[in-house]
Structure 1
Protein backbone atom coordinates (compact mmCIF):
# COMPACT_ATOMS: atom_id res chain seq x y z
CA UNK A 1 0.00 0.00 0.00
CA UNK A 2 1.43 3.37 -1.05
CA UNK A 3 1.93 6.00 1.61
CA UNK A 4 -0.04 9.18 0.98
CA UNK A 5 2.27 12.10 0.29
CA UNK A 6 1.82 15.07 2.61
CA UNK A 7 0.98 18.35 0.85
CA UNK A 8 2.74 21.45 2.14
CA UNK A 9 0.29 24.32 2.68
CA UNK A 10 1.58 27.69 1.44
CA UNK A 11 1.76 30.58 3.92
CA UNK A 12 -0.74 32.62 1.87
CA UNK A 13 -3.42 29.95 2.26
CA UNK A 14 -2.63 29.59 5.99
CA UNK A 15 -3.21 33.33 6.41
CA UNK A 16 -6.38 33.42 4.31
CA UNK A 17 -8.13 30.85 6.53
CA UNK A 18 -8.22 32.97 9.69
CA UNK A 19 -8.67 36.17 7.66
CA UNK A 20 -11.95 34.75 6.37
CA UNK A 21 -12.97 32.72 9.44
CA UNK A 22 -12.74 35.47 12.06
CA UNK A 23 -15.16 37.90 10.36
CA UNK A 24 -17.47 35.01 9.44
CA UNK A 25 -17.50 33.87 13.09
CA UNK A 26 -18.36 37.37 14.30
CA UNK A 27 -21.21 37.70 11.79
CA UNK A 28 -22.57 34.24 12.62
CA UNK A 29 -22.48 34.93 16.37
CA UNK A 30 -24.37 38.21 15.97
CA UNK A 31 -26.85 36.61 13.56
CA UNK A 32 -27.49 33.65 15.89
CA UNK A 33 -27.91 35.81 19.00
CA UNK A 34 -30.14 38.38 17.28
CA UNK A 35 -32.31 35.77 15.58
CA UNK A 36 -32.81 33.83 18.82
CA UNK A 37 -33.82 37.00 20.69
CA UNK A 38 -36.27 38.06 17.97
CA UNK A 39 -37.88 34.63 17.73
CA UNK A 40 -37.93 33.71 21.43
CA UNK A 41 -38.02 37.12 23.08
CA UNK A 42 -35.12 36.40 25.45
CA UNK A 43 -31.35 35.89 25.16
CA UNK A 44 -30.02 32.50 24.03
CA UNK A 45 -29.17 29.96 26.76
CA UNK A 46 -25.39 30.04 26.43
CA UNK A 47 -24.82 28.16 29.70
CA UNK A 48 -27.05 25.10 29.95
CA UNK A 49 -26.11 24.66 33.62
CA UNK A 50 -27.56 28.07 34.54
CA UNK A 51 -30.74 28.04 36.61
CA UNK A 52 -33.89 28.41 34.55
CA UNK A 53 -32.49 27.01 31.29
CA UNK A 54 -34.78 24.30 30.02
CA UNK A 55 -33.63 21.23 28.11
CA UNK A 56 -35.67 22.16 25.03
CA UNK A 57 -34.09 25.64 24.95
CA UNK A 58 -30.58 24.28 25.48
CA UNK A 59 -31.01 21.65 22.75
CA UNK A 60 -32.60 24.12 20.33
CA UNK A 61 -29.77 26.61 20.89
CA UNK A 62 -27.18 23.88 20.36
CA UNK A 63 -28.82 22.83 17.09
CA UNK A 64 -29.33 26.35 15.76
CA UNK A 65 -25.93 27.70 16.73
CA UNK A 66 -24.16 24.54 15.55
CA UNK A 67 -25.80 24.69 12.13
CA UNK A 68 -25.04 28.39 11.74
CA UNK A 69 -21.41 27.98 12.82
CA UNK A 70 -20.95 25.08 10.41
CA UNK A 71 -22.42 27.17 7.59
CA UNK A 72 -20.13 30.06 8.52
CA UNK A 73 -17.11 27.77 8.47
CA UNK A 74 -18.13 26.50 5.05
CA UNK A 75 -18.50 30.05 3.71
CA UNK A 76 -15.11 31.04 5.15
CA UNK A 77 -13.35 27.99 3.67
CA UNK A 78 -14.92 28.53 0.25
CA UNK A 79 -14.05 32.23 0.40
CA UNK A 80 -10.43 31.51 1.30
CA UNK A 81 -10.13 29.03 -1.57
CA UNK A 82 -11.67 31.52 -4.01
CA UNK A 83 -9.35 34.35 -2.94
CA UNK A 84 -6.33 32.02 -3.09
CA UNK A 85 -7.28 30.95 -6.60
CA UNK A 86 -7.74 34.56 -7.76
CA UNK A 87 -4.37 35.60 -6.34
CA UNK A 88 -2.31 32.60 -7.47
CA UNK A 89 -4.26 31.35 -10.48
CA UNK A 90 -4.40 27.82 -9.08
CA UNK A 91 -6.51 25.91 -6.60
CA UNK A 92 -5.26 25.60 -3.02
CA UNK A 93 -3.25 22.49 -2.11
CA UNK A 94 -5.47 19.51 -1.42
CA UNK A 95 -8.36 20.98 -3.41
CA UNK A 96 -9.04 19.80 -6.92
CA UNK A 97 -11.81 20.31 -9.45
CA UNK A 98 -12.84 16.63 -9.17
CA UNK A 99 -13.61 16.93 -5.44
CA UNK A 100 -16.75 19.01 -6.16
CA UNK A 101 -18.72 15.98 -7.33
Structure 2
Protein backbone atom coordinates (compact mmCIF):
# COMPACT_ATOMS: atom_id res chain seq x y z
CA UNK A 1 0.00 0.00 0.00
CA UNK A 2 2.67 2.51 0.98
CA UNK A 3 4.92 1.39 -1.85
CA UNK A 4 7.63 0.07 0.45
CA UNK A 5 8.33 -3.60 0.85
CA UNK A 6 8.68 -5.26 4.24
CA UNK A 7 12.42 -5.71 3.62
CA UNK A 8 12.89 -2.01 2.97
CA UNK A 9 10.98 -1.11 6.13
CA UNK A 10 13.02 -3.58 8.20
CA UNK A 11 16.29 -2.17 6.89
CA UNK A 12 15.09 1.38 7.49
CA UNK A 13 14.09 0.46 11.06
CA UNK A 14 17.44 -1.27 11.59
CA UNK A 15 19.29 1.85 10.47
CA UNK A 16 17.20 4.05 12.78
CA UNK A 17 17.92 1.77 15.73
CA UNK A 18 21.63 1.65 14.94
CA UNK A 19 21.72 5.43 14.51
CA UNK A 20 19.98 6.00 17.84
CA UNK A 21 22.34 3.69 19.73
CA UNK A 22 25.40 5.25 18.11
CA UNK A 23 24.08 8.74 18.84
CA UNK A 24 23.48 8.01 22.52
CA UNK A 25 26.86 6.40 23.04
CA UNK A 26 28.80 9.05 21.16
CA UNK A 27 26.84 11.83 22.86
CA UNK A 28 27.74 10.51 26.31
CA UNK A 29 31.43 10.14 25.48
CA UNK A 30 31.56 13.53 23.75
CA UNK A 31 29.95 15.32 26.70
CA UNK A 32 32.35 13.77 29.20
CA UNK A 33 35.32 14.58 26.94
CA UNK A 34 34.23 18.20 26.49
CA UNK A 35 33.69 18.62 30.24
CA UNK A 36 37.13 17.11 30.92
CA UNK A 37 38.73 19.41 28.34
CA UNK A 38 36.93 22.43 29.79
CA UNK A 39 38.28 21.63 33.23
CA UNK A 40 41.85 21.17 31.94
CA UNK A 41 41.81 24.39 29.89
CA UNK A 42 40.03 26.69 32.36
CA UNK A 43 41.04 25.02 35.61
CA UNK A 44 37.38 25.16 36.72
CA UNK A 45 34.50 22.73 36.68
CA UNK A 46 32.05 23.26 33.82
CA UNK A 47 29.05 25.34 34.89
CA UNK A 48 26.44 22.97 36.32
CA UNK A 49 23.69 25.57 35.90
CA UNK A 50 24.41 28.23 33.29
CA UNK A 51 21.33 30.15 34.48
CA UNK A 52 22.81 30.59 37.96
CA UNK A 53 23.86 34.15 38.79
CA UNK A 54 27.03 32.68 40.34
CA UNK A 55 28.19 31.71 36.83
CA UNK A 56 29.48 34.65 34.80
CA UNK A 57 27.72 35.40 31.54
CA UNK A 58 30.94 34.94 29.55
CA UNK A 59 31.60 31.55 31.12
CA UNK A 60 28.02 30.37 30.55
CA UNK A 61 28.03 31.46 26.90
CA UNK A 62 31.52 30.08 26.31
CA UNK A 63 30.61 26.69 27.69
CA UNK A 64 27.35 26.62 25.73
CA UNK A 65 29.18 27.38 22.47
CA UNK A 66 31.93 24.81 23.11
CA UNK A 67 29.40 22.15 24.14
CA UNK A 68 27.00 22.84 21.28
CA UNK A 69 29.62 22.86 18.55
CA UNK A 70 31.47 19.90 20.03
CA UNK A 71 28.36 17.76 20.39
CA UNK A 72 27.05 18.55 16.91
CA UNK A 73 30.38 17.94 15.16
CA UNK A 74 30.77 14.66 17.03
CA UNK A 75 27.22 13.61 16.16
CA UNK A 76 27.71 14.36 12.46
CA UNK A 77 30.99 12.45 12.27
CA UNK A 78 29.61 9.46 14.18
CA UNK A 79 26.39 9.29 12.18
CA UNK A 80 28.20 9.49 8.86
CA UNK A 81 30.71 6.85 9.92
CA UNK A 82 27.97 4.53 11.15
CA UNK A 83 26.02 5.08 7.93
CA UNK A 84 29.05 4.17 5.82
CA UNK A 85 29.66 1.05 7.91
CA UNK A 86 26.01 0.07 7.64
CA UNK A 87 26.06 0.53 3.87
CA UNK A 88 29.23 -1.53 3.54
CA UNK A 89 27.70 -4.27 5.68
CA UNK A 90 24.38 -4.34 3.82
CA UNK A 91 25.85 -3.80 0.37
CA UNK A 92 24.81 -1.48 -2.46
CA UNK A 93 21.13 -2.31 -1.96
CA UNK A 94 21.07 -0.59 1.46
CA UNK A 95 22.48 2.63 -0.02
CA UNK A 96 19.48 2.99 -2.31
CA UNK A 97 17.07 2.27 0.54
CA UNK A 98 18.51 4.68 3.10
CA UNK A 99 19.33 7.57 0.78
Q: Same fold (TM over 0.5)?
A: yes
Task: Give TM-score, length-normalised by structure 2.
Answer: 0.78
Matched, 1:37 2:67: no
Matched residue of 1:10: which SS?
Answer: helix
Decide whether aligned partners of structure 1 residues 93 and 22 sit closer, same or farther in structure 2, where only a CA change above 3 A counts.
same
Q: CA RMSD in A?
A: 2.3
Higher helix share: 2
Tell me the alpha carbon deviations over residues 5-61 of structure 1, each in whole angstroms, 9 at most, x when there is no partner.
xxx671211111012111211111111100000011111113122241000000100
Hey, what does 2:48 align to over in structure 1?
46
Matches within 5 A, 1:57-96: 57-90=59-92, 91=95, 93=97, 95=99
Number of aligned residue pairs: give it.
91
**Is the 8 Å Cα contact of residues 12 and 98 (structure 2) preserved in structure 1?**
no
What is the correspondence of 1:12-31 to structure 2 with a 5 Å cutoff? 12-31=14-33
Q: Report if the CA contact (8 A) 1:36-1:42 is conserved.
A: yes
